Each structure stands twice: as structure tokens, then as C-alpha cells.
Chain A
């Protein structure tokens, strides 16, 4: 399979879940700092162990909300001669060119150059790819499939 071009979703989309929980993580960090450095309390002594466990549990709670979103959001696209390979964090899939009926750019941000590419398949199922350089992606698709409907 001949690889021609690689695209990804905007970086902001990948790190947005972490940005949302950053204030909570900072608060927990400050709490640990105040406990250990300012007050001089040893969190890992036997009498303070429940507090250490409590902090760990809160940290797990915060990360359990942000991490699945972070893992799920990651997506990159590789245009090959057979189709578009969709790479997720732990797996890949392919949209074959032979299945594609129509491709269109539905949203586009002039400033940041990202947008949504709508791919309509012949079986009336659609895919929406959020691409960082949306117009380049569309041009690359058009150059790979000459008779593509847009």
C-alpha cells in the first residue's frame, strides 16, 4: 500500500480534556505541596495513610474523567492508494475509496485551518473526519481519486 499523506486532528482537540481538568489537578498539587512542604506533615506515615489514599482516589477520579476522553479523541488519517487509514491510539481501520460516494468540507475555520470533512459512503453511512489542515486533506483526496464527487 502506497502511503501518500498523513493528517491528524487539531492538537487542541487532543489536549482539551486535560485543559479542562488542569485547575483541579493544580488544586490537588497545591494541597499536597502545602501538606508536605509547608506544614511538614509526612503523608506516608501510618497515621496519615488515609489522607494519602484519599488524595490518590480523588486523583484517580479526576483522571478517570479526563483520560478516556483523551484516549478516545486521538485520531490521525493516512491517505494511501487504496483508502483512508484511520489510526486510533490502539488500533487502525480503513475507509476504502471504492466505498466512498461523495466527500465535502462542511465546516472550515479560516484562522486555524481546521474543519470537518464529511464522507458519504455508497451504503448511506457517513463518516466525519475532523482534520487540522482540512483543505489540504480534501486536495490530497481529490488528487488520489480523480472522479471523486465533492
Chain B
């Protein structure tokens, strides 16, 4: 397997800001709890839940999802690299029926572009057996062109 090209996931400013807030808020909560004289078991349970949020929210802030185009297919590498064996997803070129450039709208009606990969089979969005995969690379037009080019070989 040879790596042809690597694309990083596109990150919006809003997503970065939300991830930052998700780290700041639990820290503020922890600070406040340390000041309360009546912290009981329930409050401690909530604190535990908030503590769990910190690493979960922090990982996508510092590590980005990557799309690796190889001679075999597209590898989607998720930032949770400890479980890479389970989480990284492989889309073989032979499985791809068509690759599209999809245009959607944000809440202000502004267009943004995604890449949509349609695998062979019926049109389903199911998590395990779904044939539609949405990708959000940094340069979606170039990504589609590259995949189409490598699919020919």
C-alpha cells in the first residue's frame, strides 16, 4: 500500500470555539465545586461526568481527522488513535460507485461543500451498513478530482 495524498479535515471557526468552550466550562465547574461546602454524592457524580467531557472534547481540538488516499482506497483516520484499529475506516476504490461534491447550507443560508461517497448497493444512511459516507476535507474539489484520478488506475 502506497500513500498518494493526505487531506486534513476542514474545521470551522465555530467548531474550534465550541471545543474550546467545552474545555473551559468544565474547568470553571470544577473550580466552583471546590468552593462549595455542601458537595454531596450527586454533585460529585456530575463532576465525574464533566471530567469525562474534557478529554473527549479536547481530542478533536488538537488532533484532526485525516483522509489518506492510497492506491487501494480512502482511509479515514480518526483522532482517537488509541483505538485506531477499530475506528479507522477503509473505503476501497472497488466498492465506490460514485463520488460527489455535495453542497449544503448553514443556518445563515451560506453554501459549504462536502464530499459524498456512494458505495455500491442501495441508498442507506445506516451507521453499520450504510452506503453513503460524508467526508469533509480541506479542499473538497481537489479531493474529488484526486480520487477520480486514482480510481481510473
List the interface of chain A (C-beta within 8 A of B): 31, 47-48, 50-51, 53-54, 57-58, 60-61, 64, 68, 71-72, 74-75, 86-93, 106-107, 116, 124-128
B107 touches A74 (CB 8 A): yes
A91 touches B43 (CB 8 A): no
Q: Which 9 A-B pairs have the closest CB atoms?
A: A91-B109, A91-B108, A106-B123, A93-B109, A50-B32, A88-B109, A71-B107, A126-B100, A50-B36
Q: How large is the interface on B (under 10, 10 to 19, 20 to 34, 35 or more residues)?
A: 35 or more
Asked if B52 is at the interface (CB within 8 A of a chain A CB), the reply is no
Min C-beta distance of A40 to chain B, whole Å: 14
Q: Which of A64, A71, A86, A125 contacts B101 (CB 8 A)?
A: A125
Given A126-B116, A128-B102, A54 contacting B107 (CB threshold 8 A):
no
B109-136 near A? 1/0 per residue, CB < 8 Å: 1110100100000011100000000000
Min C-beta distance of A10 to chain B, whole Å: 14
Please indicate the chain B residues that have their CB under 8 angstroms from the CB of A92 in the complex.
Answer: 109
For this complex, 12 residue pairs linking A to B, each with C-beta atoms less than 8 Å apart, are A50-B33, A54-B33, A57-B25, A58-B50, A64-B18, A68-B14, A86-B105, A89-B107, A91-B109, A93-B111, A124-B101, A126-B116
Min C-beta distance of B46 to chain A, whole Å: 7
Min C-beta distance of B57 to chain A, whole Å: 10
Q: CA A2 – CA B100 in complex, angstroms?
A: 32
B103 touches A125 (CB 8 A): yes
**A71 to B, closest residue via Cβ:** B107
Q: CA A74 – CA B107 in complex, angstroms?
A: 8
**B15 to A, closest residue via Cβ:** A68
B103 touches A126 (CB 8 A): yes
